[in-house]
Amino acid sequence: MRIAVGTVSHETNTFTERRTSLEDVELVTGDDLLTSFDGGRSLEGIATVLRSAEEDISIHPTVGMASIPSGTVELDVFDRVLTELLDSLHGESLDGVCLDLHGSMYVDGVPDPEGEILTSVRDAVGPDVPITAALDMHATITETMVEYADGIAGYRTAPHTDVVETGTRAAELLLSQLRGEVDLELGWVRLPILLAGERSETEAEPMQTLIRLLERADKVEGIYDANYFLGFPWADSPHAGCHALVTGDANASETIDETVRSLATEFWNRRRAFDFTTEAYRLKEALDEAATTEARPVVVADTGDIPGAGASQDVTNLLEAILERDDVGTPVVAVFADSKSHRDCIAAGEEKTITLSLGRSVPNGDPLVVSGTVETLFETGDAELAHVVLDGAEILVSSERTNVHRDPSLFERLDIEIDGRDMIVLKSGYLSPAWKEVAARRLFALTPGDTNQLLSTLPYDRVPRPIYPLDETMEWSV
């Protein structure tokens, strides 16, 4: 058997002014997809299953495109990726297709990019070649996606620790169809709910119970893979919402319908139970809580400026408030993405004093002027960093947007002591499992920025209305 695989992964924040160009994405084609692009992605799980299958399977790599979440994708980026994908399928005799997609991309003039990808792939391979996909838990499902995919598997953890395993499930769905064991069919219900990941971590309720419902549904005869997709609230999309989606047997359509409707109802009935899964406070109150906490370190997430959700990663409001206080020790704040400030650090050199016009404040956009000493210039492989010691705080400045600070080992490599430090501030939403182990107490600072957690304050224009919580008293049923 010959099976095509590929990755197109982008989580798009439409509220940031930064856009996503070709320079911002990692793009590979052909064999490079399997040699340099599958580590830690769902593609890894897909490839592993196909390589270890009892059948003689030839993997046909197509295209890989990914980047850190960011702003609206420019049309030429999408056109390039889709062209590469379709060119790689042209003239090929294929038995199946298994894709690693995110599910919440937004493109200029193409409000349903994943639907467009699946439509184009279906046109290229014909009606009889099965197509399955692995999706992020924060995917936005559309009618077109459901129409042109045969099977879908999604992450069941947030933070996402089952990315590779989700690829395994998507590949196993495909092989089951190819072996004639099943005839895949999708059932789907969209729920009119906007929900941030910081209110829906799977280690806490109500998501703990909801994930158990998925696992129970998997065991129902005729159901193969049940999912909740939570959408992406920082995208002003006409498809916005949460979703219940089930892959099952076409011979059990009634069971599929009953299952997905039940899952949707269970989710809707718990809508008011979704709340911040970490203690959450407005900016000043978060610092007050940190200052009065005896346990160390307190790890504070700057939730309005999350690069992992597409924010600009340069908002200085929280740092400015820290520098105005004398009761929070000497916090380390990571990471500001400011290419000019980083260049200024390089120009000054290590152990040199420097004055920076750092980032921007919200809402006025003015930079924060700070002075300090460039302690270290450092390259991680993913980003170039400058460690700058100010009077009252230490900061990490990056040449570009990055998520390297999600791993506490970064600070060890920079010889920055974090054990016993009063406070550590991360440009982050929910903390990675590694940081949760480090933190004696963890707090959300509800700060302004491109990932403002107070969704009712965002200027939505295209989301379908009514939708909860923007329309808090609305009624809905399946």
Low-confidence ranges of the chain (pLDDT < 50): none
Asked if residue 61 has a cis previous peptide bond (ω within 30° of 0), the answer is: no
If one counts every other C-beta atom within 10 angstroms of the C-beta of residue 105, the result is 31
The CA distances from residue 176 to 50, 173, 184, 224, 375, in Å, are 12, 5, 9, 10, 56
Rounded Cα gap, residues 358 and 355, in angstroms:
9
Tokens for 360? 């921007």
Which pLDDT belongs to residue 37? 86
Tokens for 20? 């996503």
Q: What is the CA radius of gyration of the chain?
A: 23
If one counts every other C-beta atom within 10 angstroms of the C-beta of residue 186, the result is 21
Which pLDDT belongs to residue 111? 87
pTM: 0.96
CA 186 to chain centroid, in Å, comes to 24
Alpha carbons within 13 A on the beta-carbon side of 373: 7
Rounded Cα gap, residues 218 and 189, in angstroms:
17
3-state DSSP call for residue 376? strand
The CA distances from residue 104 to 164, 282, 309, in Å, are 19, 28, 11
Rounded Cα gap, residues 188 and 328, in angstroms:
49
DSSP assignment of 51-92: HHSSS--EEEEEEEEE-SSBSPBPHHHHHHHHHHHHHHHTT-
CA 55 to chain centroid, in Å, comes to 34
Tokens for 299? 């790890």
Strand segments, DSSP code E, in 194-251 are 223-229, 242-249
If one counts every other C-beta atom within 10 angstroms of the C-beta of residue 254, the result is 9
Provide the sign of the torsion angle of the four alpha carbons 436, 442, 444, 449, taken in this order.
negative
By the 8 A CB rule, do 61 and 31 touch? yes
Which pLDDT belongs to residue 289? 98
Give residue-wise pLDDT tens across range 384-423.
Answer: 999 999 999 999 999 999 999 999 999 999 999 999 899 9
Beta bridge partners of 394: 332, 389
By the 8 A CB rule, do 201 and 254 touch? no
- Please name which of 323, 309, 394 lies closest in space to residue 361, comparing C-alpha atoms: 323
Which pLDDT belongs to residue 420? 87
Please give the CATH number for the structural domain made up of 2-273: 3.40.50.2300
Which pLDDT belongs to residue 381? 80
Tokens for 176? 């089951």
Classify burial at 452, counting beta carbons within 10 Å of its beta carbon; exposed 0-12, middle 13-18, buried 19 or more.
buried
3-state DSSP call for residue 1? coil
- The region that residue 236 occupies, defined by phi over 0 for left and psi between -120 and 50 for alpha, beta otherwise, is beta
- Please name which of 59, 55, 153, 31 lies closest in space to residue 103, comparing C-alpha atoms: 153
Query: In the chain, what are the domain boundaries?
Result: 2-273, 279-452
By the 8 A CB rule, do 450 and 304 touch? yes
Which pLDDT belongs to residue 129? 98
Which pLDDT belongs to residue 411? 95
Give residue-wise pLDDT tens across range 225-262.
Answer: 999 999 999 999 999 999 999 999 999 999 999 999 99
Rounded Cα gap, residues 254 and 262, in angstroms:
12
pLDDT, averaged across the chain: 97
Which pLDDT belongs to residue 380? 86
